[in-house]
A and B are shown apart, each in its own frame.
Chain A
């Protein structure tokens, strides 16, 4: 989870993993939940799960404190190059601009 997602979720209380052995790109790894928000945790790449960061599951707020130092699962990617080139991850410049504008509009309407 990057800082943008952890800021939007709020202080995390739970990370619940599906505990499966493999995951496809965009598939669900489980869910994350704060006091007021819950969402699925999507895998950015497909592959085999070879490690789980139990201390982070026990204290999910580590992610809020240090999002880039708090990994959740370790994945052995099946086809990293292909996944990293996927349109869901990259999109095009137009998609990104539209997405940022929508986020800004939503943030402003939140007051």
Chain B
């Protein structure tokens, strides 16, 4: 069977570094707080998402995912290394891929982490493989505390184009949202995170409406900035402007923290956010604190974001989009400059 799950998992480069499987340190002293793991099989993911590094339609010579290498490591070794080197870690996230064995193996891996570590467990689940509530209940039983659902695309049209019929892929928009509702019912309000990728062709308004929709259903949202994976169908699509991304981050923060409402937000003809629907003083306070621009993801025991994915969305030499730490005063000055730039 080769190196496949549940005996093996792939870890992000950041996780491999934190587990001292890879050399290296993080720029600006960032520290990883959550291990990101992927189930792995040969052949890999059956889905064909146009932007994804794991897509079955991607050129076979390319092997990165979300910009970086994901080395394959024996699951027990990951647990051993997490216990030995992972003092700063408080969560592990196990990601399914679209493979017939993934649902069952997710629970096997989750149980091993539940029994072998003190880490809280998240699972990034694949709704296409989930029929009914039974699998969600089984995950909870296996120790999964929170789940993430990678809807990724903000509209049904973009979802179909990049993940469904447009790429002859298996995913269905309606199923994703149905599983999300079921998951909220089982894991609880605020315990389900919807992954959304900014920059797949949606307007800022469409993205904010989807964030609002997720919030109304009892989920929270975790944002990613589109990064073109070499060899994927969208390898030539430009990334969203940094200002575009920061505006969506700010709107998400306002919505997910109940600081304002979508109804009061204003948009221009290009769908860009021009008014966040909160008074100037409140808005300045939110921006100055900087938290709105930190990576959004599952929280740790302290309630702060644990899944901080340092440099997952950009090279360390580029302008940060998801801050893996609290932005400093200089960062906030930069953010303010980009936030009000509508030139994209």
Give the interface of A toward B (CB within 8 A). Answer: 6-11, 14, 31, 33-38, 64, 110-111
Proximity bits, B3-44, A CB within 8 Å = 1, else 0: 000000000011001100011111100110000000000000
| Interface hit among B84-92, B173-181, B253-261, B277-285 | B84-92
Assess the A35–B311 pair: CB atoms within 8 A: yes
Whether, in the assembled complex, B67 has its beta carbon less than 8 Å from a beta carbon of chain A, the answer is yes
Do A37 and B26 contact each other (CB < 8 Å), given the known contacts A111-B86, A111-B87? Answer: yes
CB of A9 within 8 A of CB of B24, answer yes
Q: 8 Å CB contacts to A: which residues of B132-183?
A: none
**A-chain residues with CB within 8 Å of residue B14 when the two chains form the complex:** 35-36
- CB neighbours (8 Å) of A10 from chain B are 13, 17, 22-25
Q: Can you spell out 13 A-B residue pairs with CB atoms less than 8 angstroms apart?
A: A10-B17, A10-B22, A10-B23, A34-B24, A36-B13, A36-B27, A36-B30, A36-B310, A37-B25, A37-B316, A111-B85, A111-B88, A111-B89
Collect the chain A residues with CB atoms within 8 Å of residue B291's CB.
none
Question: In the docked arrangement, what's the CA distance between A111 and B25, Å?
Answer: 12
Q: Which residues of B contact A6 (CB under 8 A)?
A: 23
Partner of B17, one of A14, A36, A38: A36
- Alpha-carbon separation in the docked complex, A14 to B18 (Å): 21
**Considering residues A7, A9, A31, A35, which has the most beta carbons from chain B within 10 angstroms of its beta carbon?**
A35
For B88, what are the chain A residues with a Cβ–Cβ distance below 8 Å?
110-111
A2 and B13 alpha carbons, distance in the complex (Å) = 22
Whether B86 pairs with A33 at a CB distance below 8 angstroms is no
Bound CA span A111–B88, Å: 7
B23 touches A35 (CB 8 A): no
Nearest neighbor of B19 in chain A, beta-carbon distance? A111
Q: Is there an interface contact between B86 and A37, defined as CB atoms closer than 8 Å?
A: no
Minimum-distance CB pairs A-B, first 10:
A10-B24, A111-B87, A38-B316, A38-B317, A7-B23, A35-B68, A37-B27, A35-B13, A36-B311, A36-B26
**Chain B 80-111 interface residues, beta-carbon cutoff 8 Å to A:** 85-89
Name the A residues within 8 Å of B336 (CB-CB). none
Residues of A near B13 (CB, < 8 A) are: 10, 35-36
User: Counting CB contacts under 8 A, is B315 at the interface?
Assistant: yes
> Which of B24, B68, B86 is packed against the most chain A CB atoms within 10 Å?
B24
Q: Which of B22, B30, B317 contacts A33 (CB 8 A)?
A: B317
For the A-B complex with A35-B13, A35-B68, A36-B30 known, give 6 more contacts whose Cβ atoms are closer than 8 Å.
A10-B25, A11-B69, A35-B67, A36-B24, A36-B316, A38-B315
Quick one: closest B residue to A6, CB to CB?
A: B23
Q: How far is the CB of A48 from chain B (nearest CB, A)?
A: 27
Residue of B nearest to A10 (CB): B24
> Taking A35-B13, A36-B14 as contacts, is the C-beta distance between A64 and B316 under 8 angstroms?
no
CA distance A97 to B164 in the complex (A): 60
